[in-house]
Structure 1
Amino acid sequence: MNRHEDEGERVPHERYVFLSYCRRDQRTAYAVIKTLEEAGFKVWWDALIPGGHRFGSSISTALEGADAVVVLWSAEAGQSDWVKDEAGYGRDHHRLVPLSIDGTEPPLGFRQIQCIDISKGRGRRGSPGMLRAIAAIAEIMGHQPEPQARKNAGSLPVSRRTALIAGSALAVAGAGFAGWRWFGASSAGANSLAVLPFENLSGDASKTYLSDGLAAELRARLSRNPLLSVVGQASSNVFRDREASSADIARKLKVANLLDGNVRMDAQQIRIAVELIDGATGFSKWTQSFDGPLTNLLALQSQVAETVSSALAAELGAKDAHAQSGDTRNISAFEAYLRGKDLFDSQRDEASDRAALAQFTEAVRLDPDYAAARAARSRALAVIANQYAETAERRLLYDEAITEAREAISGAPEYAEGYAALGYALFYGKMDVLAADAPFAKAHDYGAGSAEVLNLYALYHGRRRNFAIAGPAIERAVALDPLNPALAKTQGRIRFASGDYVGAIAAARRALELNPDLGGAHGDIANALLLSGQLDEAAAEYARERSALLKLPGEAILAIRRGNQRAASAAFDQLVRDEGDNGLYQQAQVLAQWGKVEPALDALDKAVKVQDSGLVYLLSDPFLAPLHAAPRYKALLRALHFV
């Protein structure tokens, strides 16, 4: 049996009993625990979890390692999803010892095992019911323990269930999800929430994309409520495998509340367990399980999302913000979409992006009305066109990206990601600045709580030098997803375009702290250092940059600043040779800094003809400053609708 230690919490290596009970039965639970310990059994129960630890993971570990699972059934326990979940594990693994503490029978599904009635003695030592219980436990565990002298236990620690009402007059555990209240972290807003990656308890690592996807979809739905502040996916996912307590996670993410969960599934059934955790104390506020056949996964997902979202909105005194989510009812399409998201979000390389596109294409094939899949497919097409495609393929990909985004909007007119995808494809693909304006505005209207939508919106306005809009938007995105290196990189690029080179360097270094392998960040730092006159420091950063489209033009401009014409020519020639038409915009940067105004403008004209995405920098790029007075440059700005 696989047992381990979880951040200082000792899961016993010796044989032990797991005790499951309902909060309202805590006094009887104490009596049973004392009796079992006096009889020589080691007992694990939830009060042994140190404050601030993730309950779901701790309880699952202890439950799986137990040799016997003792369940205290009562009228209240029969209504508890926690108790039924734990009892179900004991039953399925032939370790269950059911005890009735008030004479009621266990709920349906648990009556095939004889339940021992201990209601008369209420768990006390020497009562007939407890003697039978001890014998049953010993039989399951395969040994008779040695009785121990009674210990002076002193004050029992607070359990996860008693913590629900500690310091509060709210007895919410039995009232359902709508009964809980926001309270906790002192510095975080009371409406702040992080949805942690759900644990995959299916025993099949290949199903992790599904548990991740369910958490991501729940996070996306909650972020559409403008009264909630929901941490973005990248920051939440940092804590997937980290051994950190709930209180530590909440503090690092600056939230008052955490939503945790796990997913169990087999060939036919799925159970989604969700838990709300107080970020200040780490104690559970509320838990609920949702069960159903695997074929009914989408309805189950919607039930979870709507229950959580509606309860949060009701608590904050406002209607639920029900922006359309672009959902599907086709389980196979949903699974293909989740696989695609898993690949696309990894940002590994061209192969993973093209594999993601294939999954999104499959999702759309299975459900042509699946707006979320169409929007995701549009983004994948545009990114591949932007980063990897040659001229001929690039045009076809951008055209298809625009079509897909419009299809997504047609199917879900209030779906923010559809508008963001359209704005991105029009701006980067068609270089049509004005046409992209309305979709980005709509994306912001419907998705102001999404860090990803805000990121694209901020970049667009940064390129238009609308810094009064871009600055607050990217700051909001970073606040929502503070551990996302891509957002820190965007923040740095917007600061660079505004002339804040110190701020740009700080943001890019923060991005590298979060992801030391992040592409482009060293080049961004080098560009800011170069324009600040720190040439030696800039050279060191260019040497560390892997992107040729940042490294080669940067090294050429650096050589120009140093007066080394031979080195400048060598770097420029390599840029032309290695990157070809994909580097036309970067050629213009070097030529402008060289003082070769007309050749630089010629390069920009060629870039327009091949739809070089670098042209989105045209208005905001300080390296093109030597061209600003040229009539051809001003005409180009007008032609692309920058002015």
Structure 2
Amino acid sequence: MGGFRACFFGLCCNWGARIDLTDRDPTTDNSDPQPSTVFFSYSREDQARAVPIIGVIQDAGFTTWWDGLLEGGERFSKATEDALDRAKAVVVLWSRTSVQSHWVRDEATRGRDRGILIPLSLDGCEPPLGFGQFQVINLAQSRIDSSDTEILRMLRAIAASHRAVLSIPIAPVKQSRKIGRRLAIGGGLSVAAAAAGIAIWKGNMLGSPAIRNSVAVLPFDNLSGDPQQRYFSDGLASEIRSNLSRNGLLEIVGQTSSNQFREHSGNARSIAKELNVSFLLDGNVQRVGDRVKIAAELTDGRTGTTQWSRIFERQLADIFAVQSEIATAVAGALSAVMDEGSAGKKALQVGGTKSLAAFDAYLRGRDLFESHIDEASERAALAKLEQAIAIDADYAAARALRSRTLAVIANQYATAVERKALYNEAVSEAQQATRNAPNFAPAYAALGYALFYGRLDAAAARAPYERAHQLAQGDVDVLSRYAVYCARTGRFVAAETAINRAAVLDPLNSSMFKSAGNIKYAAKAYQAAIGFGRKALALSPQRGTLHGDIANAYFMLGDLDKAQAEFALESNSLLALPGDAIIAHRRNDKGKANAALAALIAEHGDNALYQQAQIFAQWGEIEKAFAALDKAYAAADSGLVYLLNDPFLEPLRADTRFIALLRQLKFV
């Protein structure tokens, strides 16, 4: 097979109809509610870039059936034959890898012979011999969204194969979907499995093998003799990880999962198995005066043998060149070709700086920001980032992170009076970062966040979020924030696709499970939300808000006892107190309910206006609920980003004032 394995989607729908897809257990339920009508074929090596295309097709209103876990000997099973036979369109994604795949060619032949082939080109390559007579839709420069010309050509072709007319713009699907088989993008997260109570999502839930060019960059050891220098060795490993993640031919594990192995408690093979990767990049850093010595080693996780190792001893001022050199050498060792020309080297440094002093200040600021200790640490991070920007005003990475830090302070610590000013500054800082580095994904993600949570403008946030997603298919942080935004705005297919991808890349990160749970909760798949919340707790037992997330889902399922037990375990009173107030009122204990509301106001004041609205809505006090929402809007309360699909506000949803507020926030 030459390392190739084609994956496919069979797609079916009643064109233009709303599709009600709720979760079920994929291991026991093999029935398809409708016959599949579109078969999507591509090489396993192209999976990461194929998934967004499939998501666009799903968002157009088609229901999917697929099984990307069939091995070579099973490839042409009866199920595959049936899917091909009943397809109304066979969409084939040609690329430099898929043109070599016998499986993809065979599937394309079926489509060609039946006159239903829709060929796409992922990288501009020509289709293989025998398929040149078909006009290929070139997606090499596509934005991969429904506003892109080539994507629209693809959707029109699919619609034509169904004898239907494509309606533009395509309305986003706003309810959870019923999984016909297994929604296990990249062999990682299975949303349907979570709905069945399966809490396994560690690396690779359904057991497919690690992708050949998958790499985990482990934390580099600090050999400087000064524990305070760890920020530098950690930062260097993180920068190398970022450089590698910009290579579309590599799969790079996220920082949180990689950092679980700081002490190297296992051997290379066990660590690689835990992270479901093929290779590990390890190293150490020794910084003495104005010199730095870096030792790096690439290990084959399947055999435990060293593939490549090298020692770099340079002036500290050469640190940027060393980062790129290591990334390029690792890619070369994996036979993943990087552009050796000036354009390729420039891409590796996107968003960066040439100033060592600015870089050092940025690394110190990032170390403080990622510690998430308290307000003091966030403000200390802000000061370091401001120092980096003062040294190099064009340093986009520092500006993007400063924007994020401002937004965190505004969201978590600021009073209503200070909040708007902080968010406005966060927007301006992110905008400047995008101007400094137009291809730097974190800058666009920071801008989207500040516009959505700060300006409360759901529509304005979409363009920067989409740009960030387009630029950073391998950046876990960008993917997870994009996924949550999509869920908040009702685009659940795009949300699940992005969080699936993030989960594959960062399988030991509790934030991935928290986000997945929040997405399922927004989609009203409450049992699935609980399953993801439990998994997040297993990875991070002391993390705040997780018990509250689980409690909210239990409440929506009508299990007040379990909800109350979870609220009792929640350390974040902004979640716990509203839950106590609502449950007590539901149980006719008005005294306890009022006491919980009073405690919420006393502790959080105007920072809990949105939560007050939730309480009043559930108490049936509609006028008070709207009064609280009006105050929340005036104070730029970030809680309003939940408005579109918050089940606690269901009693308000039919009111014209609620619809007007949705319009104010640009949800509709």
Q: TM-score, with normalisation over the residues of structure 1?
A: 0.69
Aligned match of 2:227 in 177, 200, 205? Answer: 205
Alignment correspondent of 1:510: 535
Secondary structure, in 3 states, of the residue corresponding to 1:262? Answer: strand
Once the two structures are superposed, what CA deviation does each residue of 1:288-347 show, in whole Å capped at 9, x if it has no partner?
A: 122211232223223323433466564599996936621111111111111111111122
Alignment correspondent of 1:287: 309
Larger RCO, structures 1/2 (Cα 8 Å, 6+ apart): 2
* Distance in 2, Cα, partners of 1:590 & 1:563: 14
Alignment correspondent of 1:463: 488
Aligned match of 1:415 in 434, 440, 444? Answer: 440
Q: CA deviation at 1:475?
A: 1.3
> What are the within-5 Å matches in structure 2 for residues 390-409 of structure 1?
390-409=415-434
Q: Residue type matched to 2:247 in 1?
A: N
Alignment correspondent of 2:524: 499
Which aligned segments of 4 or more residues in structure 1 are displaced greater than 4 angstroms? 309-313, 315-321
Aligned match of 1:246 in 268, 289, 301? Answer: 268
1:214 aligns with 2:236: yes
Q: CA deviation at 1:205?
A: 1.3
Aligned match of 2:547 in 522, 525, 550? Answer: 522
Alignment correspondent of 1:106: none
Check conservation: 1:197, 1:260, Cα contact below 8 A.
yes
Task: Give the root-mean-square deviation of aligned CA atoms.
Answer: 1.9
* Distance in 2, Cα, partners of 1:428 & 1:558: 28
Decide whether aligned partners of structure 1 residues 380 and 309 sit closer, same or farther in structure 2, where only a CA change above 3 A counts.
Answer: farther
Q: Residue type matched to 2:278 in 1?
A: A
Secondary structure, in 3 states, of the residue corresponding to 2:644? Answer: coil
Q: Residue type matched to 2:511 in 1?
A: A
Unaligned 5+ residue runs, structure 1? 1-184
Check conservation: 2:218, 2:262, Cα contact below 8 A.
yes
Pick which of 227-236 and 293-302 moved more.
293-302
Secondary structure, in 3 states, of the residue corresponding to 2:507? Answer: coil
Q: CA deviation at 1:463?
A: 0.5
Check conservation: 2:410, 2:423, Cα contact below 8 A.
yes
Aligned match of 2:606 in 577, 581, 585? Answer: 581
1:384 aligns with 2:409: yes
Q: What percent identity do the matched residue pairs reach?
A: 53
Decide whether aligned partners of structure 1 residues 318 and 254 sit closer, same or farther in structure 2, where only a CA change above 3 A counts.
Answer: farther
> What are the within-5 Å matches in structure 2 for residues 86-101 of structure 1?
none
* Distance in 1, Cα, partners of 2:240 & 2:409: 28
Aligned match of 1:454 in 442, 460, 479? Answer: 479
Alignment correspondent of 1:625: 650
Q: CA deviation at 1:349?
A: 1.7
Decide whether aligned partners of structure 1 residues 272 and 324 sit closer, same or farther in structure 2, where only a CA change above 3 A counts.
Answer: closer
Q: Residue type matched to 2:226 in 1?
A: D
Check conservation: 1:323, 1:415, Cα contact below 8 A.
no
Q: TM-score, with normalisation over the residues of structure 2?
A: 0.67
Decide whether aligned partners of structure 1 residues 311 and 327 sit closer, same or farther in structure 2, where only a CA change above 3 A counts.
Answer: farther
* Distance in 1, Cα, partners of 2:616 & 2:348: 48
Alignment correspondent of 1:260: 282
Once the two structures are superposed, what CA deviation does each residue of 1:125-145 show, in whole Å capped at 9, x if it has no partner?
A: xxxxxxxxxxxxxxxxxxxxx
Alignment correspondent of 1:600: 625
Check conservation: 2:496, 2:519, Cα contact below 8 A.
yes
Secondary structure, in 3 states, of the residue corresponding to 1:238? Answer: helix
Q: CA deviation at 1:560?
A: 2.1
Unaligned 5+ residue runs, structure 2? 1-206
Check conservation: 1:186, 1:280, Cα contact below 8 A.
no
Once the two structures are superposed, what CA deviation does each residue of 1:230-285 show, in whole Å capped at 9, x if it has no partner?
A: 11000000100241111111011011111111112211321111111111121111
* Distance in 1, Cα, partners of 2:652 & 2:349: 45
Decide whether aligned partners of structure 1 residues 411 and 306 sit closer, same or farther in structure 2, where only a CA change above 3 A counts.
Answer: farther
1:326 aligns with 2:348: no
Decide whether aligned partners of structure 1 residues 271 and 575 sit closer, same or farther in structure 2, where only a CA change above 3 A counts.
Answer: same
Secondary structure, in 3 states, of the residue corresponding to 1:567? Answer: helix
* Distance in 2, Cα, partners of 1:253 & 1:426: 35
Aligned length: 459
* Distance in 1, Cα, partners of 2:541 & 2:355: 39
Aligned match of 1:297 in 319, 336, 342? Answer: 319
Check conservation: 1:324, 1:414, Cα contact below 8 A.
no
Once the two structures are superposed, what CA deviation does each residue of 1:534-560 show, in whole Å capped at 9, x if it has no partner?
A: 211111111111111101101111112
Q: Residue type matched to 1:245 in 2?
A: N
* Distance in 2, Cα, partners of 1:288 & 1:640: 54
Check conservation: 1:291, 1:300, Cα contact below 8 A.
no
Decide whether aligned partners of structure 1 residues 561 and 324 sit closer, same or farther in structure 2, where only a CA change above 3 A counts.
Answer: farther
Q: Residue type matched to 1:590 in 2?
A: I
Alignment correspondent of 1:153: none
Once the two structures are superposed, what CA deviation does each residue of 1:137-169 show, in whole Å capped at 9, x if it has no partner?
A: xxxxxxxxxxxxxxxxxxxxxxxxxxxxxxxxx
Q: CA deviation at 1:446?
A: 0.5
Alignment correspondent of 2:383: 358
Decide whether aligned partners of structure 1 residues 285 and 466 sit closer, same or farther in structure 2, where only a CA change above 3 A counts.
Answer: same
**Bigger Cα Rg:** 1
Check conservation: 2:328, 2:338, Cα contact below 8 A.
no
Check conservation: 2:215, 2:252, Cα contact below 8 A.
yes
1:611 aligns with 2:642: no
Q: Residue type matched to 2:532 in 1?
A: A
1:479 aligns with 2:504: yes
Secondary structure, in 3 states, of the residue corresponding to 2:242? Answer: helix
* Distance in 1, Cα, partners of 2:331 & 2:400: 23
Q: Residue type matched to 2:296 in 1?
A: V
Once the two structures are superposed, what CA deviation does each residue of 1:491-535 show, in whole Å capped at 9, x if it has no partner?
A: 111111111111111111111111111110010011111111221
* Distance in 1, Cα, partners of 2:390 & 2:665: 35
Secondary structure, in 3 states, of the residue corresponding to 1:260? Answer: strand
Check conservation: 1:270, 1:291, Cα contact below 8 A.
yes
Aligned match of 1:542 in 564, 567, 575? Answer: 567
Check conservation: 1:486, 1:511, Cα contact below 8 A.
yes
* Distance in 1, Cα, partners of 2:544 & 2:332: 40
* Distance in 2, Cα, partners of 1:410 & 1:504: 38
Secondary structure, in 3 states, of the residue corresponding to 1:292? Answer: strand
Check conservation: 1:398, 1:425, Cα contact below 8 A.
yes
Alignment correspondent of 2:186: none
Secondary structure, in 3 states, of the residue corresponding to 1:288? Answer: strand
Alignment correspondent of 2:398: 373
Check conservation: 2:247, 2:338, Cα contact below 8 A.
no
Alignment correspondent of 2:16: none
Alignment correspondent of 1:572: 597
Check conservation: 2:324, 2:348, Cα contact below 8 A.
no
Q: CA deviation at 1:187?
A: 1.5
Q: Residue type matched to 2:270 in 1?
A: D
Alignment correspondent of 1:237: 259
Alignment correspondent of 2:582: 557
